[in-house]
Structure 1
Amino acid sequence: MTESLLRRAQHTLAPLQRRDLEMALEWCAADPVANTFLAMHLETARRSGGLTPYLWAVRRRSGRALPGMGRETIGVIWNGANLTALIPSADDPDTGDDVRAEVAAAMLGRLNRPAALVGRADLILDIWGRVEPWWGPAREVRANQLSMALATSPRHVASDGSGLELEAVRRATMQDYDELLPASVHMFLGEVGYDPMSHGRAAYEDRLRALIRAGHAFLQYGEVDGRRRVLFKADVGAVGGKVAQVQGVWVHPQARGRGLSKAGMAAVVEAVHASIAPTVSLYVNDFNTTAIAGYRAVGFSQVGTFATVMF
């Protein structure tokens, strides 16, 4: 991608400015479940008064203002460990297909390739198709992930805890860290496909400690093989736009098939509704039919489709 091509483009990327924050948050509010992660970082910037270098504005070089938008800024991108974005639709009559093509070109020129692209499937797969020749190959493309949400009281589903001596689901404390860490690593291995302790161990451990200190890590203990272990865990990985996104749901292999995930998620939803956010969301791979059935049993319903491209 040459500089001459970037100069001819009508859309480009520039560091987000404070004047962009309120408008970007309004865009996120139009689909708060899809944009929870992005809204979280925008809200953090608004509260702190500082701007992170990971937030980028999609700017139009010239032309008339679009309805509901400023004269220059038409979208926003977060480019940290993961990349997520809010960009006008490719079939928007005011912008057409050019905006996404030009944003993809600007991404190649200005952004580092992240560990993953995550977000609304229509946008993420569109972007991926444009940057794949430069950023590919992907380690895995999960093109159809159900985006699910629950804003009402959960349905309680009884778990079969016979022989497990289950304790109540609760927030983790730092005293739980040594037991929670291996459970979190096991979840990550199964979900993402590599050992986080071999790739960025310090950052992974710092992230877990931050979740615990924020009251965003939940767990349940029980007895397996005569030892007290973490049998269920779930994290509130992002909170923005009055939506809490649950991530990292995991059940100990020897406790699966007993309904711990359904009962645990119902307890987590109640706790989140009480003190974190009125809407709880998550996204789950379409091939994980057991998890999807469990979430539906608790009361979650599909509200959109996500995609994840992992490098």
Structure 2
Amino acid sequence: MTDSLLRRAQHSLAPAQRRDLPVLQALCAQDPVATVVPAMHLDAALASGTVPAGMWVVRRRSGFSHDTIGLIWAGANLCLVLPSTGDEAADDDLRADIAAAVIARLSRPAALVGEARVTLDLWGRVEPWWGPAREVRERQASMLIDGPAHRPSPVSEPAPSLEAVLSLETVRRARDEDYDDLLPACVHMFIGEVGYDPMRHGRVAYEERLHYLVRAGRAFLQYGVVHGRRQVVFKADVGALGGGVAQLQGVWVHPDLRGRGLARAGLAAVIDTVRADTAPMVSLYVNDFNASALAAYRAVGMRTVGTFATVMF
């Protein structure tokens, strides 16, 4: 991609400025669940007055002016906020221009994540430059709950079996003193979900992130005594928080206790706590082939509101 080609394009990509923030926030508000990650960084920028380097504005040339029509968050993951114009040909031109600008101006992230239609379209255009992908997850259910969570019922949903666990403690926010117990559970979850050990690749950043979540009150856990040892049996994090939406990530149950209802009971407790004091809407996204996780999320009252996709490098 050459600079001359980019100059002739009808759409451009530029670093965001403080004057752009209210317009970008309004764009994210059109779909707060799909845009929670960019919205989180917008909220922080509006509060601090400092615009982060990873925030980019998509503009359309209109006569002698440029209209703001989209947003790209380019951090560890790249998220694209690009509402449809309703005109298929115009949308195709827009995405072609943005793909060209992304290739020319941004480095390949760890992943592309977001609304499936836009994310997969971008991937198809940048693949010759950024490929191959390590994995492409084309269909992930984007789920939401904005009311009280359904609690396990003694009739239809028996309480978790305690054959292998005793002294099941209350689900609560993690504290600094829990860190050494929480870290192995987080690593086990990450390996199973992402496919590599974060303690071998990017350990410092991974541990800094976990410390931040704990100190911000955004990491939740539950202890139990499993096979005679007190350890974490359930965990979940508020991995992103912005625009009135708290996105849950890293939901995990001890391997020896799966299928006993701990996920449903734990999620219900986390959802109600988060909705009470953090954000009115709680969301997450999950692979469409993960039937057990989908069943647990639906059981607590979450509903599917869209489709995400993730391209991992």
Q: Normalised by the shorter chain, which TM-score bucket?
A: over 0.9
Query: Which residue does the alignment assign to 1:185?
Result: 187
CA–CA separation in structure 2 for the residues paired with 1:216 and 1:96: 37
Q: Deviations over 1:199-254 (max 9, x none)?
A: 11000000000000010000001111110010100000011111100000001101
Residue pair 1:234, 1:248 contacting (<8 A) in 2 also: yes
CA–CA separation in structure 1 for the residues paired with 2:185 and 2:213: 14
Q: Deviations over 1:169-203 (max 9, x none)?
A: 00000000000001000000000000111111000
- Correspondence for 1:272 among 267, 270, 274: 274
Q: Identity of counterpart residues, as a percentage?
A: 63
The equivalences for 1:94-113 within 5 A come to 95-113=90-108
Query: Which residue does the alignment assign to 2:5?
Result: 5
Q: Which moved more, 1:90-99 or 1:118-127?
A: 90-99
Residue pair 1:88, 1:95 contacting (<8 A) in 2 also: no
CA–CA separation in structure 2 for the residues paired with 1:62 and 1:160: 60
Query: Which residue does the alignment assign to 1:119?
Result: 114
CA–CA separation in structure 1 for the residues paired with 2:83 and 2:200: 38
TM-score (norm 2): 0.95
- Correspondence for 1:154 among 135, 149, 152: 149
Q: Over aligned residues, Cα RMSD in angstroms?
A: 1.4
CA–CA separation in structure 1 for the residues paired with 2:64 and 2:4: 24
Give, as a single letter, the amino acid of the residue that structure 2 aligns with 1:137.
P
Residue pair 1:90, 1:99 contacting (<8 A) in 2 also: no
Give 1:11 shift. Answer: 1.1
CA–CA separation in structure 2 for the residues paired with 1:42 and 1:94: 30
CA–CA separation in structure 1 for the residues paired with 2:174 and 2:52: 29
Give, as a single letter, the amino acid of the residue that structure 2 aligns with 1:303.
V
TM-score (norm 1): 0.95
- Correspondence for 1:220 among 219, 222, 235: 222
Moved over 3 A (4+): 61-65, 90-96
Give, as a single letter, the amino acid of the residue that structure 2 aligns with 1:23.
V
Give 1:263 shift. Answer: 0.5
Provide structure 1 residue ranges, at least 5 long, that are not aligned to the other structure: 66-70
The equivalences for 1:133-172 within 5 A come to 133-157=128-152, 158-163=158-163, 164-165=165-166, 166-172=168-174
Give 1:276 shift. Answer: 0.4
Query: Which residue does the alignment assign to 2:47?
Result: 47
Residue pair 1:89, 1:123 contacting (<8 A) in 2 also: no
Give, as a single letter, the amino acid of the residue that structure 2 aligns with 1:238.
A
Q: Deviations over 1:245-291 (max 9, x none)?
A: 00000011011111100100000001101110011000000000110
CA–CA separation in structure 2 for the residues paired with 1:7 and 1:199: 39
Query: Which residue does the alignment assign to 2:304?
Result: 302
Provide structure 2 residue ranges, at least 5 long, that are not aligned to the other structure: 153-157
Give, as a single letter, the amino acid of the residue that structure 1 aligns with 2:207.
E
SS in 2 for 1:27: helix
Give 1:64 shift. Answer: 7.7
